[in-house]
Amino acid sequence: MLRSLIWLALGTFAIGTEGFMIAGILPMIAGDLQVSVAAAGHLVTCFALVYAVAAPLLAVATANWPRKTLLAAAITAFGLANIVAGLAPDYLWLMVSRVLLALSAAAFVPSASGTAATMVAPEKRGRAISIIYTGMTVSIIVGVPIGTLVAEHFGWRATFLGVAGLAAIALVGILAALPRVDAPASVSLAARIEMVRRPDLLIVLALTFLTLGGIFAINTYFGALMTEIFGATPEMVAGALFLAGIGGAAGNLIGGYAADRWNGRRFLTAVLATLTINFAALSLVSVFAPDRHGLVVAYVIAAVWGLAGWSFPAVQQVRLVRLAPSLAAVSLSLNSSALYFGTATGAAIGALAIDFVSITAIGWTAALFELAALVLMLATMKAPARQAEPSPCPAAERA
């Protein structure tokens, strides 16, 4: 079973590398295509909006597909879209490629998480999902820094072509090692509408939206901030992203453990408080210490951001699965939509902060998102967790 999940994790590694390396190569793309950094940031916004809209629609359209077929088709499309990006002659074609990348990623990632959750015993779902997201965190540790360095020495287009190669390897592994997993039981339209109307589900989705909005207000422009404010070289930016990835790998493991064993609400409260303080500190150090000392602090902030931010997804997804285990595919696709609506909103508002204030304002922008999420978490801590059906494991009561 672990061997099967590793190939799904490699798929999310490829998707994570493509998605997160934008932070490191955004200034290069902007310079080469002769657009502003804020305009280049719209490549992130476009990807996120398409992903957010497409995820639940694709979940419905592919509801009867065997999971292996769906995952193989999605990672194939993702690889081809990376080739389009690598060969894009201008900004418009690169934007088109980002749309194609979003559609394929929206089909792959929720399905990979849902498949992982159904392949293991209920009490191990958090750890199974964390294995899938390990691909994302390892992409920050390995894929993003290497992508940044490859872009520096061979051009930013080479990074997309490299990701296409990763997708091809993941495809081979999925076809060879993933067992046949039948499509989940068909979910009626009425059941889907009922899920969307549930207040407890909407609260969890709003928390995802706000948290990811803050994270991507920072993530999208972090490379540009490091370069403009601290005079960081591409190698220095890669080093900061490497530390964020190390923190993210640790956070992902902690999140998987916490999802199965700890009180989910209290854990997320601590995560959100940490992110609020951390992002506010980035703006403070950017204004008051735009020098080598501030650069060191920015490195620490990147590591803490990775640790806290990546402990969030597994806990959130397990909370959603426990709300209605038989409707996990629906709730996880909705969570993906909330995640990417948050990503798009954070990237867009970050661009506005840069245009109307300065790039140093992105820390305050992100902190306000996280503060709003923290207030929502505290306001709903005492609300009973409604169960639509019996919990699959005793630990559910702690979520």
pLDDT band per the 50, 70, 90 thresholds, residue 104: very high
**What residues contact residue 28 under an 8 Å CB cut-off, 6+ apart?**
151, 152, 155, 156
- Answer yes or no: is pLDDT of 98 > 90: yes
* pLDDT at residue number 283: 93
Q: Which residue has the higher pLDDT, 24 or 101?
A: 101
* pLDDT at residue number 166: 92
* pLDDT at residue number 139: 80
**How far apart, in Å, are the Cα atoms of 392 and each of 66, 148, 201, 309?**
24, 43, 18, 27
Q: Which residue has the higher pLDDT, 208 or 66?
A: 208
**What residues contact residue 75 under an 8 Å CB cut-off, 6+ apart?**
11, 14, 104, 108, 167, 170, 171, 174
* pLDDT at residue number 387: 44
Q: Supply the mean pLDDT for the chain.
A: 83
Tokens of 8: 């799904």
* pLDDT at residue number 209: 94
- Answer yes or no: is pLDDT of 388 > 70: no
* pLDDT at residue number 2: 67
* pLDDT at residue number 73: 94
Give the Cα separation of 237 and 165 in Å (integer). Answer: 24
* pLDDT at residue number 198: 82
* pLDDT at residue number 245: 80
What is the mean pLDDT of the segment spanning 25-40?
84
Would you give the end-to-end CA distance of the chain in angstroms? Answer: 26
- Answer yes or no: is pLDDT of 343 > 90: no
Q: Which of 102-116, 184-198, 265-279, 306-320 has the highest mean pLDDT?
A: 265-279
Give the Cα separation of 183 and 111 in Å (integer). Answer: 10
- Answer yes or no: is pLDDT of 140 > 80: no
Least trusted range by pLDDT, from 143-147, 239-243, 283-287, 302-306: 143-147
pLDDT band per the 50, 70, 90 thresholds, residue 239: confident
* pLDDT at residue number 65: 84
- Answer yes or no: is pLDDT of 397 > 50: no
What is the mean pLDDT of the segment spanning 325-345?
79
Query: Which backbone phi and psi does 202 adopt, to 5 degrees?
Result: -60, -35
- Answer yes or no: is pLDDT of 74 > 90: yes
* pLDDT at residue number 374: 94
- Answer yes or no: is pLDDT of 390 > 60: no
pLDDT band per the 50, 70, 90 thresholds, residue 372: very high
* pLDDT at residue number 299: 92
- Answer yes or no: is pLDDT of 202 > 80: yes
- Answer yes or no: is pLDDT of 326 > 70: no
**What is this structure's pTM?**
0.72
* pLDDT at residue number 192: 67
Alpha helices in 262-361 (DSSP H): 264-288, 292-309, 312-323, 328-356
What is the mean pLDDT of the segment spanning 10-25?
85
Which domains does the chain carry?
Answer: 2-398 (1.20.1250.20)
Give the Cα separation of 347 and 364 in Å (integer). Answer: 13
pLDDT tens sequence across 168-201: 999 999 888 877 766 666 665 566 667 777 888 8
* pLDDT at residue number 329: 67
- Answer yes or no: is pLDDT of 320 > 90: no
pLDDT tens sequence across 328-337: 667 777 887 8
- Answer yes or no: is pLDDT of 285 > 70: yes
Work out the percent of the chain whose per-residue pLDDT is above 90: 28
- In sign, the C-alpha dihedral spanning 101, 342, 330, 176 is positive
- Answer yes or no: is pLDDT of 382 > 70: no
* pLDDT at residue number 392: 37
- DSSP letters, 70-90, are HHHHHHHHHHHHHHHHHH--S
pLDDT band per the 50, 70, 90 thresholds, residue 219: confident
